[in-house]
Amino acid sequence: MANGRLRIKDISRPGDDPLVFMNMSELMPVPNLGEEPSIEPTPQKFIDKYEMSLDGHCSIGIPKPKTKEEEDHLVRRFLSGLEKLFNSEESWTFQQALRLSFDYCVKCQTCSEACHAYLASGRQEIYRPTYRAEILRRIWKKYFTPEGKLLGRFVGADVDVNWRTVTRLAELGHRCTLCRRCAQRCPMAVDNALIARELRKLFSQELGIAPMEILEKGCVQHLRVGSSTGLNPPGMLDTVAFMEEDIGDRIGKKVKIPIDKKGADILLIHNAGEFLSWPENPEAFAILFEAAGISWTLSSEPVAYDAVNYGLWNDDVELARVAARHTLAAKKLGCKKVMIGECGHATKAYVVIADRVLTGDLSSSEIQRESCLPLLWEIIRSGAIKFDPSRNNFPVTLHDPCNMVRAMGIVKPQRLALKAIAPQFREMTPNSVYNYCCGGGSGYAIIQSFNFPQWRNKAGARMKMHQTLQAFKNELDPNKVPFKYLCAPCSNCKGTIRDAITHYGLWDKYNLNYGGLVELMVNSMVDIDRPFIEYEDFH
């Protein structure tokens, strides 16, 4: 175990020295990975200005306090937020789940081996699922419980809160992808992912501290402009026009993309990141839905053309605001159902988590909410479209988005679809509900600030790259097998995978590409006379 002697109390240690810094020699070995970029030291300009003393990486960029007053302000607000977190009115949303997870961990560490980040980092103590939870627990005991005040260290009330504790904790809350694999294995049903999520909530809702991409450029921009990508409604209409043209170029046929079509059965909402990074994905949806004769539409209403809901990761208020607008847009159009495109977090946020935010006329009995995967399988199963699997005759493996499998139990549709259209489909290990996170869960896919991408690639996505290389281990040679496809029906997962494949050079080394499920479906449509997937293109 690396850094075995790092203690819980060290979170409050003064000074800029990080508690830990990942070391190349300790990272989890990955067979067939070949040469990989080394870990860059933390740039001094970051150290001078921002909180980098957790692990030399940073996702938020909290400026170091300049005065004692600023330091005290951080501490005060943190403690007041912690108190609110355990207040039934202020924080009813997860109160019961949090309380139970908080009070009854028996510290058996059964959960640790479940965590991809902990394992990939070479078992660095700070990434152990229990590390941040235990810190928070001890702080809570010390400052808010009678037994902590009375018995102190005896009951573990021994972590001091100073500004370093606060800023390090804010970062530490962002070293867990909320994949909940640890919770799945805990014999006590303790959920360290929820504790991490609630810790982030404290920062977001009380101090307004969150990675810029998640709060300010995420939810706030989503609500203000219409999309977290900055795409406004006129921009959305242009995008649709562009996609129609692009579809014509790609398949040699015209497809009309319905937008704001009143009375359509389904309002389809994509992660708007798709429009910018992978327009072929929403285009493939349009091709499939038109060919299958489905009554559907996109919306150009602000918020409702972007399925993301970043409040899922740190903010109940933002979560509720976004979910309500998605539903109101569907109501306005008179749609029966809202379906989320290939995006795991957006699907879980809207279908599961928002289920108890949307009440009365907005509830699921009034407007249904579904993942797209069952419909995609139904299109194949029903024979509504004819597919020729031989067009996808290359090795394909599947990454299950955690939010769809572990958090929603959507396991079979994507497998059945792949088995039907990809003759060389093989599972990675482990898979389905026991999968490993891609490394980009909980917003990490979109955090590009500071040196966070380095952490994401080295600790976050390493396990997924390991699994992928294992799945293709007999076909890695690009001269023998010129194309492999990692299917990830989730926008965030794709973002992470794209960056990780680039970081580790796996496209150059092995022609390992990635993409969604619908692209594979369109690629094998009998009615289309040319490939939809561009085999030479990695983007």
Q: How far is the CB of 53 from ligand SF4 (least distance, A)?
A: 21
Q: Pairing state of beta strands 266-269 and 337-340?
A: parallel
- Kindly tell me which residue out of 177, 204, 300, 414 binds ligand SF4, with binding defined by CB under 6 A: 177
**Three-class secondary structure of residue 371 per DSSP:** strand
Question: Which lies closer to ligand SF4 via its Cβ, residue 192 or residue 204?
Answer: 192
256's torsion region: left (phi>0), alpha (psi -120 to 50) or beta?
beta
Q: Whole-angstrom Cα distance, residue 359 to residue 164? A: 41
Position 178 contacts ligand SF4 (CB under 6 A): yes
Partner whose binding site includes residue 192, from ligand SF4, other proteins, none (CB under 5 to 8 Å by kind): ligand SF4
- Kindly tell me which residue out of 106, 241, 276, 526 binds other proteins, with binding defined by CB under 8 A: 106
Q: How far is the CB of 484 from ligand SF4 (least distance, A)?
A: 26
Q: Which residues contact 82 (CB under 8 A, 6 or more apart)?
A: 136, 139, 140, 143, 144, 202
Question: Which lies closer to other proteins via its Cβ, residue 153 or residue 419?
Answer: 153
Q: How far is the CB of 340 from other proteins (least distance, A)?
A: 11
Question: Which lies closer to ligand SF4 via its Cβ, residue 115 or residue 240?
Answer: 115
Partner whose binding site includes residue 393, from ligand SF4, other proteins, none (CB under 5 to 8 Å by kind): none
**Is the distance from CB of 164 to CB of 141 less than 8 angstroms?**
no
Q: How far is the CB of 455 from ligand SF4 (least distance, A)?
A: 12
Q: How far is the CB of 353 from ligand SF4 (least distance, A)?
A: 15
Stretch that binds other proteins, among 286-294, 400-408, 455-463, 483-491 (CB under 8 A): 400-408
**Three-class secondary structure of residue 478 per DSSP:** coil
Question: Which lies closer to ligand SF4 via its Cβ, residue 114 or residue 219?
Answer: 114
- Kindly tell me which residue out of 42, 59, 121, 130 binds ligand SF4, with binding defined by CB under 6 A: 130
Position 126 contacts ligand SF4 (CB under 6 A): no
Q: How far is the CB of 8 from other proteins (least distance, A)?
A: 7
Question: Which lies closer to other proteins via its Cβ, residue 32 or residue 93?
Answer: 93
Q: Whole-angstrom Cα distance, residue 225 to residue 235? A: 11
Q: Looking at residues 10 to 29 of the shown chain, list those that interact with other proteins (rule: CB under 8 A).
A: none
Position 8 contacts other proteins (CB under 8 A): yes
Q: How far is the CB of 153 from other proteins (least distance, A)?
A: 7
Angle at Cα 406 formed by Cα 370 and Cα 438, nearest 5°?
100
Question: Which lies closer to other proteins via its Cβ, residue 8 or residue 33?
Answer: 8
- Kindly tell me which residue out of 23, 87, 96, 109 binds ligand SF4, with binding defined by CB under 6 A: 109
Question: Which lies closer to other proteins via its Cβ, residue 131 or residue 504?
Answer: 131
Q: Looking at residues 337 to 376 of the shown chain, list those that interact with other proteins (rule: CB under 8 A).
A: 337, 351-361, 363-366, 368, 370-371, 373-375
Query: Where is 369: in which H helix or E strand?
Result: strand 368-371
Torsion of CA 83, 84, 88, 89, to 10 degrees: 150
Question: Which lies closer to ligand SF4 via its Cβ, residue 270 or residue 399?
Answer: 399
Position 283 contacts other proteins (CB under 8 A): no
The residues with which 50 forms a beta bridge, in sequence order, are 63
Binding mask 294-323 for other proteins (x = CB under 8 A): ----------------------xxx-xx--
- Kindly tell me which residue out of 1, 24, 106, 151 binds ligand SF4, with binding defined by CB under 6 A: 106
Position 37 contacts other proteins (CB under 8 A): no
| C-alpha distances in Å from residue 311, one per residue of 168, 174, 198, 214 | 21, 14, 11, 8
**Is the distance from CB of 246 to CB of 287 less than 8 angstroms?**
no
* Angle in degrees, 0-180, between the axes of helices 280-291 and 233-251, rounded to the nearest 10: 70
Could you tell me where the DSSP H helices lie in 253-315? 273-277, 280-291, 311-314
Determine the distance from the C-alpha atom of residue 489 to the mean position of all C-alpha atoms in its chain, rounded to a whole number: 12
- Kindly tell me which residue out of 188, 207, 362, 433 binds ligand SF4, with binding defined by CB under 6 A: 188
Position 205 contacts other proteins (CB under 8 A): yes
Q: Looking at residues 163 to 192 of the shown chain, list those that interact with other proteins (rule: CB under 8 A).
A: 180, 183-191
**Three-class secondary structure of residue 304 per DSSP:** coil
Q: Which two tokens stand for residue 442?
A: 């909980």
**Three-class secondary structure of residue 356 per DSSP:** helix
Q: Whole-angstrom Cα distance, residue 345 to residue 177? A: 11
Could you tell me where the DSSP H helices lie in 208-347? 221-225, 233-251, 273-277, 280-291, 311-314, 316-333, 344-347
- Kindly tell me which residue out of 32, 110, 363, 424 binds ligand SF4, with binding defined by CB under 6 A: 110
Q: How far is the CB of 409 from other proteins (least distance, A)?
A: 3
Position 398 contacts ligand SF4 (CB under 6 A): no
Binding mask 131-160 for other proteins (x = CB under 8 A): ---x---x------------x-xxxx-x--
Question: Which lies closer to other proteins via its Cβ, residue 327 or residue 457?
Answer: 327
Stretch that binds other proteins, among 15-23, 167-175, 198-206, 487-495 (CB under 8 A): 198-206
Q: Whole-angstrom Cα distance, residue 446 to residue 435? A: 21
Q: Which of 196, 221, 318 is nearest to 272 (CA)?
A: 221
**Three-class secondary structure of residue 164 per DSSP:** helix
Query: Where is 103: in which H helix or E strand?
Result: helix 95-103
- Kindly tell me which residue out of 90, 290, 388, 427 binds other proteins, with binding defined by CB under 8 A: 90
Q: Whole-angstrom Cα distance, residue 74 to residue 218? A: 23
Q: Which two tokens stand for residue 340?
A: 């989320």
For residue 430, whether the previous peptide bond is cis, meaning omega lies within 30 degrees of 0, is: yes
The residues with which 525 forms a beta bridge, in sequence order, are 387
Interface with ligand SF4 (CB under 6 A):
105-111, 114-115, 117, 129-130, 176-182, 186-188, 190, 192-193, 196, 437
